[in-house]
Amino acid sequence: MTNQELGENVRKIRELKGFSQQNLADEIKVDQKTISRIEKGDLSPKFETLVAISKALGVSLSQLLSFNENLIFNNYSQYQQGGQFVAYNNNEIEKVENLYKQLLKEKDEVIELLKAR
């Protein structure tokens, strides 16, 4: 992986997470210019800095290094509501679906218990 590719990954994840360069810099206790240089590929960050960036952005180090925006955007269902873009993470939808299925199963069990009376 080149410094340029790494920098692009940092920038894309930072932007997706809603961090400014200054926010990220404050979080990991470096200068904003350092974040800018990393994102431009002008600076090869130390391992400790990469770990701090990944923690601050809430992603694993491997996710930071192997970030692929196609995987992210293909994992979102997109809807337009009231002129504003809204994206739903499919992982959350799967959790809701599983909970709904569990509730349906429990409802059926309660109905069977009531019928048995």
pTM above 0.75, yes or no: no
Alpha carbons 108 and 100: distance in angstroms, whole number: 12
Report pLDDT digits (tens) over 16-60.
888 999 999 999 999 999 999 999 999 999 999 999 999 999 888
Q: How confident is the model at residue 98 (pLDDT cuts 50, 70, 90)?
A: confident
Report pLDDT digits (tens) over 68-92.
766 555 544 444 445 444 444 555 5
30: exposed, middle or buried (Cβ count in 10 Å: 0-12, 13-18, 19+): middle
> Within 10 A of 20 (CB to CB), how many other CB atoms are there?
12
Q: Which one-letter DSSP state was computed for residue 64?
A: H
**What mean pLDDT do residues 91-104 have?**
72
